[in-house]
Amino acid sequence: MKAKISKIILWPKRVGEPPRVIAFKMAGVEVITGQSQTGKSSLISIVDYCLGGDKCTIPVGEIRDAVEWFGIVLRFPKSEMLVARRNPGLQSATNEMYLEESPTLKLRDELESNSNSTAVVNRLNQIAGLPTLPLADTDESSFGGRPSFRDTAAFQFQPQHIVANPHTLFFKADTFEHQEKLKYFFPFVLGAIDGQTLEVRRQLRSAEAELKIKREQLEERRTRSNVWLQDFRAFYSQARESGLLHNSPDPATDWNVETFVRYLKPVPGILKQQGMPKVERGATQRMTKEIAALRKEEESITQGIADRRRKLTKVEQLRSSTDSYSQALSVQSGRLEPLHWFSERVAKNHTCPVCGTDSESANGEIQRLAGLAKRVEGSIGTIENVNEVLDKEATLLGEQLRKLEDDLAGLRGHLEELESRSEDLKAQRQTIREIYTFGGRLEEALRNYHAADRGSALVEAIAKLEHKIIQLRTRVDQNAINRKQEAALDAISKTIRHYTEILGVEHFERSARIDIKNLMLVIEGPHGRRDHLWEIGSGANHMGYHIATLLALHEHFLGVGHNPVPQFLIVDQPSQAFFPEGWPPRSAQDKKGKLTEQPMPSDDIARVNRIFRALSEASVRTKNRLQIIVIDHADEITWQGVANVSVAQRWRGGDALIPRHWLARSA
């Protein structure tokens, strides 16, 4: 995202005072230097708050007492954007914001809310070209949702408590929520995945969901087909009984739904054309014959059920017996277990341990018992094999029983229908109304059957979806994504080494690599050991690795075709590892705080000078596309001789972020 910070602006609470404007050249390394308690460190909080931060971390006190609106101007290649947010007062944050975009902005003395934080972040999402699709491959994670411009803050700021922190490498990565979001965001900003990949993932998830639904529908239709079979079988019997199917064959057991439908399809038309049919001679006899055949089939199925139940009972009894026998053998095996040890001792010494006499028969008896123990152990293994066979047999018998019981239920239902019709025949209660009612029911059933999708279209649709899913999966090959990510991390690791050498980090020659899973830097140690940043000593080393990592990441971002990360980096107090109590060092001040002629600690100044050399190097390597803002106590002596470094603001001798007269008027 080609965006830099052109200005930071503060609007006072009291009307009549012009806004406080901090302007940047947006080239090279720009430094805001000053004494402690001048408001320097609050600048990161101000920028983050204006860019839609959830909470206002601007310190309470003079700044919040004097300022009504906080704002920044973002410079894009062809336009500018003013983003301002009202002072939250006693709240943790306010949703009142001001948003203005123009090729050239004119500074306003007063602001009125015209937007909110959600709208501002959404607009920045659009400008950054962030996709609206989730980053997670599945919907299981709430942290892998659509990326947000807010996620880029991890790479924009290195505040004072982060820049030399051995346990946290990225801004706001010290909270669980931001950690999890950043883990999903990292492959995207590294260029391992892009918007097109996310769209293919969406299509894949959609196709997989549709495939699941269609498979369920197909299974439902196949289940419904069995219902159709029972219905049309009953219709067939009733049509024959009613004389509507002349010379029709007896239904065979292998008839399917289509066979019954083929015979029944002409019946409604025949009924309409010929009127009330006569009862076919012999219909009752055929009905009785069919009932007798079904009764015989019922008896056969009943016998099959009884036979399998007997077998299943015997298998269960045998299983119980083998379990008991196995337990007994296990007890015997346990009792005979000491014989192995005892036989070894007797084999070496034939002297009786009780009476002290030599005896060959004792050894023979022990060997016999040892052989018995081995046979017992072998029997236990045999019993286990038998139990496995019995379990398989019991499972098979159970499946057969369920199948036979289902067949018996269907057959008995058909029998009840036939016997009912047989009684109707015997009673000669066949009426015109019943016949025509039957004809109407049959016609409706045939119409529904032909209108219903019985699965052929679904089978074709399922085949197409399966083919589509295979093609989509090749386009989102996770292995290919992993290879891209590893290649990016390899390149970043080489760049980190370049900057750590300039920064003078100890053992800079050791490879340092970003561990995305833990959001930490891992340094290659001696003898193949991998050390985390917190295992590396010295605050100077921690600071060096932080700066080197952020500079290397921004170099990589600038090389990615389209990257949502803005082109600026703000670093606060990088010199703290060398001047923890501020600048100038105490040894160079007199009691009144004035500079003295005492010598500066040249070694520490030289080491801070390395920081600015590294930052200047980044400015050169990125051809000024990366805006670098440094906030520090240290003054010009620490970057003396370094090119591309300039002072944006110097707050000493009473100068500060908040003008003194603002505080006087707001009192």
Report H helices in 91-175. 117-128
Report H helices in 242-282. 257-264, 267-274
Cis, bond preceding 584 (omega within 30 deg of 0): yes
User: Using CA atoms, how far apart are residues 375 and 369, in angstroms rounded to an integer?
Assistant: 10
Q: Are 5 and 22 in contact (CB under 8 A)?
A: no
Helix (H, G, I), strand (E, B) or coil at 33: strand
At residue 451, the pLDDT reads 66
Q: Are strands 67-75 and 80-86 parallel, antiparallel or unpaired?
A: antiparallel
Q: Are 523 and 512 in contact (CB under 8 A)?
A: yes
Radius of gyration, CA atoms only, the chain: 44
User: Identity (one letter) of the amino acid at 601?
Assistant: P
CB atoms within 10 A of CB 318: 15
Tokens (6 digits) for 232: 């049309």
At residue 624, the pLDDT reads 94
Q: Are 552 and 499 in contact (CB under 8 A)?
A: yes
User: Using CA atoms, how far apart are residues 264 and 486, in angstroms rounded to an integer?
Assistant: 68
User: Using CA atoms, how far apart are residues 106 and 283, in angstroms rounded to an integer?
Assistant: 101
User: Using CA atoms, how far apart are residues 111 and 97, in angstroms rounded to an integer?
Assistant: 9
209-234 burial code (b ≥16 CB/10 A, e <16): eebeebeeebeebeeeeeebbebbbb
What angle, 0 to 180 degrees and rounded to 10, lies between the N-to-C axes of helices 195-241 and 257-264?
Answer: 50
225 Cβ neighbours under 8 A, 6+ residues apart = 257, 454, 455
* CA torsion angle 633 638 641 646 (round to 10): 0
Domains contained in the chain, CATH given:
224-453 (1.10.287)
CB atoms within 10 A of CB 612: 25
At residue 120, the pLDDT reads 96
User: Using CA atoms, how far apart are residues 20 and 657, in angstroms rounded to an integer?
Assistant: 8
Which whole-number Å values give the CA distances from 272 to 264, 437, 482, 604, in the listed order?
14, 12, 71, 109
Count H helices and E strands in the chain, helices first: 16, 14
At residue 597, the pLDDT reads 44
179: part of which helix (H) or strand (E)?
helix 176-190
User: Using CA atoms, how far apart are residues 473 and 241, in angstroms rounded to an integer?
Assistant: 58
Q: Give residue 264's Cα distance to chain centre.
A: 55
Helix (H, G, I), strand (E, B) or coil at 127: helix
Q: Give residue 188's Cα distance to chain centre.
A: 14
Q: Are 5 and 73 in contact (CB under 8 A)?
A: yes
DSSP state of 55: S
DSSP state of 38: S
Q: Are 1 and 567 in contact (CB under 8 A)?
A: yes
Which whole-number Å values give the CA distances from 405 to 305, 309, 402, 417, in the listed order?
7, 11, 5, 19
User: Using CA atoms, how far apart are residues 205 and 387, in angstroms rounded to an integer?
Assistant: 45
User: Using CA atoms, how far apart are residues 398 and 31, in angstroms rounded to an integer?
Assistant: 83
User: Using CA atoms, how far apart are residues 228 and 135, in angstroms rounded to an integer?
Assistant: 47
- What pTM did the predictor assign? 0.64
Q: Which contacts qualify for 195-198: CB closer than 8 Å, 24 or more apart?
A: 195/129, 195/131, 195/133, 197/475, 197/476, 197/481, 198/131, 198/133, 198/134, 198/135
Which whole-number Å values give the CA distances from 454 to 21, 314, 451, 467, in the listed order?
74, 44, 9, 22
Give the up-direction half-sphere exposure of residue 558: CA atoms within 13 A in the CB hemisphere: 19
Tokens (6 digits) for 278: 């006569």
Tokens (6 digits) for 254: 């292998």
The residue among 540, 539, 513 whose CA lies nearest residue 525 is: 513
At residue 666, the pLDDT reads 46
Tokens (6 digits) for 469: 């899913």
User: Identity (one letter) of the amino acid at 9?
Assistant: I
The residue among 72, 61, 67 whose CA lies nearest residue 87 is: 67
Mean pLDDT by 10 residues, the chain (667 residues): 96 90 96 92 96 93 94 96 94 94 92 95 94 73 79 95 94 87 91 85 86 84 71 85 81 84 85 62 71 82 87 83 71 63 58 62 65 64 70 84 83 77 56 74 80 69 89 85 93 96 92 93 86 88 96 95 92 86 57 50 84 96 96 91 95 91 67
CB atoms within 10 A of CB 129: 11
Query: Edge-to-edge strand order for the sheet containing 627-632?
Result: 157-158, 568-572, 627-632, 29-34, 645-651
User: Using CA atoms, how far apart are residues 83 and 149, in angstroms rounded to an integer?
Assistant: 14
User: Using CA atoms, how far apart are residues 308 and 401, in angstroms rounded to an integer?
Assistant: 7
